[in-house]
Amino acid sequence: MYTHFKEINDLIKKSKNIILTTHVVPDGDAIGSVMAFAGYLKQKGKDPVIINHSITPDNLKFLDKKNTIRVFSKDQEKNEKLISEADVIFILDTNDFSRTKSLEHYLVNSPAKKVCIDHHMGLKPKMFDFVITNTVYPATCQILYEYIKDDDEKYLTKEVSSALYVGIMTDTGSFRHPRTGSDVFMVCADLINDGADPVKLYEEIYGNTTKENLLLMARFISGLEFYSGNRVVLGTVTQKDFKTFGLDIDHVEGFTSLIMNIKGIKLGIILVELKDNIKISFRSKGNIPANKLAAEFNGGGHKNAAGANVKGSSIPELKEQILKKTENYID
């Protein structure tokens, strides 16, 4: 953490035009952060404007009932003007301007003071005027909770608390990922006391699977293939599958965790046929380097989660190539 809360408070006090933004393909922590902080700023008599690159995912729209989040490409001229005339811009849940995609150029070139509040690694502090970062926390919303509470607990309204709770619940994978310490539960207990409803919020976020999505999943599961003594699992989703159910790549998001939850699995591979290429996702456990495997197909990523996009190949062809390479990584 570099900047003291008080410095940001002073900055807010003397600012009129305040912009908030977050990263592309926003998750619960991203939308939770901008909505919670905007809700806090409004109580302080400010009129913040949220501008994002992406539209808000359906299951997070309930956090923005009044549909206040502006999408940069819609009425872009006005959004450019808002950014160039801002006194302060808050970049939440990312520390990298390039993650704001279409906004990047305008944010970087705005004369506004730039404040980063985030929990990711790889911060380049010189890009910002003020930074609050804590990479030990599982969610940006936990930092914002601390910030708002430090100012005055009265600002933790039901609305603000609910947005913060959603950020923490989603970024911890419902309280099971690493960095889910006892502190996280203390924070959430407080948020629940302030009005966040854990049952309702879980339902809003996760209780929205459709029949079509479930049928796609069923087809995916029934097609799973197992290799290397059930330590490797491979699944595919084709264009035909998408067409059958009227779905797209957005609807395969949970499939990786589904296969990696199989007991004894060391390596999971998913091939998704897109319009003009095939997307490969590799997930591994322990020391199996998913990124090295992905690199064999000109992809990359982290040790346990990586991917690649391959053009000009078919699923059966690619499957064979992958399984051959896999042998070098599974003892």
Residues that bind Mn ion (CB under 5 A): 29, 93, 140, 171
> At its nearest, how many Å lie between Mn ion and the CB of residue 140?
5
251 DSSP assignment: G
CA distance 273 to 259: 18
CA distance 125 to 88: 16
Number of neighbours of residue 36 by Cβ within 10 angstroms: 31
Could you tell me which residues come within 8 angstroms of residue 118 by beta carbon, excluding any fewer than 6 positions away? 91, 92, 93, 94, 95, 131, 132, 133, 140, 143
Pairing of strands 267-273, 278-284: antiparallel
Residue number, 15 or 142, with CB nearest to Mn ion: 142
> At its nearest, how many Å lie between Mn ion and the CB of residue 90?
14
Residue number, 103 or 141, with CB nearest to Mn ion: 141
Residue number, 119 or 266, with CB nearest to Mn ion: 119
> At its nearest, how many Å lie between Mn ion and the CB of residue 182?
20
Write b or e for each residue in 286-320: b if 16 or more Cβ atoms lie within 10 A of its Cβ, otherwise e.
Answer: eebbbbbbbebbebebeebbbbbebeeeeeeebbe
Residue number, 110 or 172, with CB nearest to Mn ion: 172
Residue number, 173 or 207, with CB nearest to Mn ion: 173
> At its nearest, how many Å lie between Mn ion and the CB of residue 28?
8
* Nearest residue to Mn ion, scored by beta-carbon proximity: 29
> At its nearest, how many Å lie between Mn ion and the CB of residue 171?
5
CA distance 112 to 277: 41
> At its nearest, how many Å lie between Mn ion and the CB of residue 329?
30
Q: Under DSSP, is residue 13 helix (H, G, I), strand (E, B) or coil?
A: helix
Closest CA to 274 of 295, 298, 250: 250
Number of neighbours of residue 122 by Cβ within 10 angstroms: 8
Residue number, 34 or 51, with CB nearest to Mn ion: 34
Residue number, 32 or 299, with CB nearest to Mn ion: 32
170 DSSP assignment: H
Backbone angles phi, psi at 157, to 5 degrees: -75, 175
Residue number, 29 or 273, with CB nearest to Mn ion: 29
CA distance 253 to 85: 38
